[in-house]
Structure 1
Amino acid sequence: MNATRTIKLGLSVCLTFIITACHQSSEQVDERENQAQIELKETSFENLPNWQHDDLSAALLSFKQSCIKISTTNQELPLLSQITINTEINTHLALQKACQKAKQVQIKPDLARQFFEHNFQPWLIRSDNKEQGLFTGYYEASVNASYNQSAKYSSPIRKKPKDLVTVDLGLFKPELAGQNLVGQVVNSRLQPYQERKDIEASHTDDDEVLLWLDSAVDKFFLQIQGSGLAELDNGNLVRIAYAGNNGHNYSAIGKPLLQRGELSKESISMQSIKAWLNHHPEQAKQLMNTNKRYIFFREHAGMGPIGAQDVELSAERSLAIDPSYYAYGLPFFVDLEHPQKGSNNIQKLVIAQDTGSAIKGPLRGDFFWGHGLAAEENAGKMKSLGKAWVLLPKN
């Protein structure tokens, strides 16, 4: 095995620094543009920290979920974009062959390890001559809801509008794979869709509403996470999933709170921002409307939330990546700082099954923690440095 073989590419990358972790978008502190050098360095599984102790059966199960979509993808599409690599291992056909083999493998730790070691090759990701990138976390939010509007339940969760149009630019130019245009057709021309403040102020018909929530702040953070579990006023639970967005960029609300001195860099997190909004209801609406992005939802009857690959996410085994670099379904091994001080690093195999508006660049990821209070706590605090290895199919 050649442990020094590398693949390089120079290009301009915008590096985003995050204050609070989230799925659809993240709180930004600073941005800078660099002329980055992207490098993939071939290595061995023995060099992956904790590889031998990771229970890979959960990762294999998550990979099999992705294979459902991988099997229907165009075989000629690349697994890595913007990087020149051996064509035979850089196609969905190569990943589809691995999926065919995965069907025969039982969900057992030893068999899962053999499967990944026999069918994949790990490559260390470097960007701008650095091996560490930024990794945040997200989770499946919990909200209180009702199907009926009332004084208590007055904040609408909207379905995807019928006039919302999404254009996959990759269908027109392969180099734009993973990039979309969103808008509405006005006089036969595609125009930008309404901003958050306009949508919130517009009249809402009953058939446009999925659920009514008891908190506008909870709705805002539900839209950031992109999925959630709603507890209805009749005691039933309904899982809701991302259905689309209005096409506008996300604007961080943490940054102005820092600038105004409402929160400090040491104290700011998803939890502290949420607490500030709840304690300042008059200012909260105006502040949330500075974020022009708006998320629409649908009901989902499955056992877990749905990611951008349109498969169910797995707690601590799903990763949101930048699809302009990597194809969904690729396995990644990560070594990340744990958001809880004193805890061991997160060292495990995860599958690329999702993305987010703040997840930009080859060494940028969002780690899915799952559902519940612990998941929310970890996701809200996570802004971790870490390494990542992409596992490519063997020739």
Structure 2
Amino acid sequence: MFWNRLSLRHGLIAAGTVVALLAGCTHPSVKPVSPSTTTTTDTPVTWNTLPPTSDTEVVAGFKAWRAGCVKLQNDAVWAKPCQAAAKLPLSPAAVRDFMQSQLDIYALGTDEGREGLITGYYEPVYVGSLTRTAKATVPVYAVPDDLIVVALDEVYPELKGKRLRGRLKGRTLVPYDAASTIASNGSKAPVIAWLTNPMDLQFLQIQGSGRVQLPGGRQLRLAYADQNGRPYRAIGKWLVEQGELKSADVSMQSIRAWATAHPARIADMLASNPSYVFFERKPDSNDGPSGSLNVPLTAGYSVAVDRRAIPLGSLVWMSTTTPDGLNLSRPVAAQDTGGAIAGTVRADLFLGTGDSAGELAGRMKQAGRLWLLWPRGVALPSASAK
């Protein structure tokens, strides 16, 4: 079968910048949890068990979650709490009272423990052009005219979420071209922008959305539109296997530095990842990019989660640290998903736009805990319903 095994997100993909670059190499202090081999536990706890945080953090996290309520107006679980939240003044006392009166708390974990992995992702900005120039020679493609996508659950309900991607060869559906073929031969797709560096395109595809800095100051916003159906292979892992980098040293910065030092081998490195992402233009805006919930993400307070463990739209309490060792405890909004986000205690924190956010995302790989804040009196969904 050649359906997409990366489970690409609607907005941003392959969440967890470091994890996406390594795909399998793990932080020494965090044991990865596979949802297919562990038992999830949602244990009810009291409010005083939550790690403390400031009023500023509580209000900011609540505000980010409330912004997503526009997509939950008809949701059986969240419609009523969202209606109540819409009328709430943004004062610390009102927000804390709302949470404690309207929501129950469940400590998330598995039979392997309650500590998991917290990573970060961001929206990159790359120099480019709307037309090909002497410097801007790397095309960013829209969805190809010959790409065919088949939703398998329309025939086989047990394959919910699985999609077959390919192209027609005569009357036969065959796998779509791999990334290396597209890079060499082009694609039957409109070019929506041109970048100046092939590494910029690779990182844009890993993040799944971004901005192109155009001449004159305008920034063109791009978002994930579709994918070629090939499995994602981490270029960082390829560099480790080649003996070029140690797994502990893999980051966007180290990969880019290696590419700068070895321009003749860039094509070989990129060819190790057959996955290829196609993009679409989005309206110009200063808001964050849209995630899987299709609402703008809030820097520092929107997270990507595994929706099998945490339903989209949920309010979550997160406790972790920054790469510099500072404690980070706050409510966050589950508004996105991603292929590298798998497991019960697993979250990817959206960190913003541009180089500073990217530098932080490149280092964010922390141990952490999660608590699900769920409407009082509403039964938790089964794993199959999330």
What TM-score comes out, normalization by structure 2 length?
0.83
C-alpha distance after superposition, 1:221-279 (max 9, x if no partner): 11111111221022212222222222222101112222332122342222111211222
The letter for the 1-side match of 2:108 is: I
Among 323, 336, 348, which residue is 2:307 paired with? Answer: 323
Counterpart for residue 58 of structure 1: 60
Q: Take 1:62 and 1:27, find their aligned partners in 2: how far apart are those partners?
A: 30
Counterpart for residue 212 of structure 2: 230
Q: Residue 392 of structure 1 aligns to a residue in which SS?
A: strand
- Comparing 23-32 with 359-368, greater Cα deviation is found at 23-32
User: Taking structure 1 as reference, are residues 263 and 344 closer, same or farther at Cα in structure 2, changes over 3 Å only?
Assistant: same
Q: How does 1:1-395 map to 2 (within 5 A)?
A: 21-22=16-17, 25-30=20-25, 35-51=37-53, 53=55, 55-72=57-74, 92-168=75-151, 177-184=160-167, 190-204=173-187, 208-301=190-283, 302=285, 303-340=287-324, 343-395=325-377
Q: Residue 36 of structure 1 aligns to a residue in which SS?
A: coil
User: Taking structure 1 as reference, are residues 239 and 29 closer, same or farther at Cα in structure 2, changes over 3 Å only?
Assistant: same
Q: Take 1:289 and 1:168, find their aligned partners in 2: how far apart are those partners?
A: 28
Q: 1:30 offset after TM fit, Å?
A: 4.3
The letter for the 1-side match of 2:107 is: L
Q: 1:167 offset after TM fit, Å?
A: 4.7
C-alpha distance after superposition, 1:351-382 (max 9, x if no partner): 11111111112222211111133211110011
* Aligned residues of 2:21 and 2:250 also touching (Cα < 8 A): no
C-alpha distance after superposition, 1:10-58 (max 9, x if no partner): xxxxxxxxxx942993412448867312111111222111245452222
Q: Residue 93 of structure 1 aligns to a residue in which SS?
A: coil
Q: Residue 39 of structure 2 aligns to a residue in which SS?
A: strand
- Comparing 210-219 with 113-122, greater Cα deviation is found at 113-122
C-alpha distance after superposition, 1:95-131 (max 9, x if no partner): 1211121221233333222222222211111123311
User: Taking structure 1 as reference, are residues 70 and 111 closer, same or farther at Cα in structure 2, changes over 3 Å only?
Assistant: same
Q: Take 1:174 and 1:325, find their aligned partners in 2: how far apart are those partners?
A: 20
**Higher relative contact order, chain-length normalized (CA < 8 Å, sep 6+):** 2
Q: Take 1:316 and 1:325, find their aligned partners in 2: how far apart are those partners?
A: 21
User: Taking structure 1 as reference, are residues 164 and 311 closer, same or farther at Cα in structure 2, changes over 3 Å only?
Assistant: farther
User: Taking structure 1 as reference, are residues 230 and 100 closer, same or farther at Cα in structure 2, changes over 3 Å only?
Assistant: same
- Comparing 291-300 with 319-328, greater Cα deviation is found at 319-328
User: Taking structure 1 as reference, are residues 178 and 349 closer, same or farther at Cα in structure 2, changes over 3 Å only?
Assistant: farther
The letter for the 2-side match of 1:60 is: F
User: Taking structure 1 as reference, are residues 187 and 361 closer, same or farther at Cα in structure 2, changes over 3 Å only?
Assistant: farther
* Aligned residues of 1:24 and 1:356 also touching (Cα < 8 A): no
Q: 1:153 offset after TM fit, Å?
A: 0.4
Q: Take 1:23 and 1:120, find their aligned partners in 2: how far apart are those partners?
A: 33
Q: 1:332 offset after TM fit, Å?
A: 1.1
* Aligned residues of 1:21 and 1:381 also touching (Cα < 8 A): no
Q: 1:157 offset after TM fit, Å?
A: 0.8
Unaligned stretches of 5+ residues in structure 2: 1-14, 27-31, 378-386
Q: Take 2:376 and 2:155, find their aligned partners in 1: how far apart are those partners?
A: 30
Q: 1:312 offset after TM fit, Å?
A: 0.8
- Give the number of equivalent residue pairs: 354
The letter for the 1-side match of 2:233 is: S
C-alpha distance after superposition, 1:138-181 (max 9, x if no partner): 11101001001022000011112244344555666666555544
Tell me which protein shows more strand as a share of its residues. 1
User: Taking structure 1 as reference, are residues 282 and 62 closer, same or farther at Cα in structure 2, changes over 3 Å only?
Assistant: same
* Aligned residues of 1:23 and 1:225 also touching (Cα < 8 A): no
Counterpart for residue 89 of structure 1: none
Q: Take 1:363 and 1:335, find their aligned partners in 2: how far apart are those partners?
A: 11
Q: Take 2:57 and 2:149, find their aligned partners in 1: how far apart are those partners?
A: 39
- Comparing 110-119 with 368-377, greater Cα deviation is found at 110-119
- Comparing 106-115 with 171-180, greater Cα deviation is found at 171-180
* Aligned residues of 1:23 and 1:355 also touching (Cα < 8 A): no
C-alpha distance after superposition, 1:177-229 (max 9, x if no partner): 55544444556665432221122223356x71110001110111111111112
Q: Take 2:20 and 2:247, find their aligned partners in 1: how far apart are those partners?
A: 19
Q: Residue 274 of structure 1 aligns to a residue in which SS?
A: helix
- Comparing 171-180 with 331-340, greater Cα deviation is found at 171-180
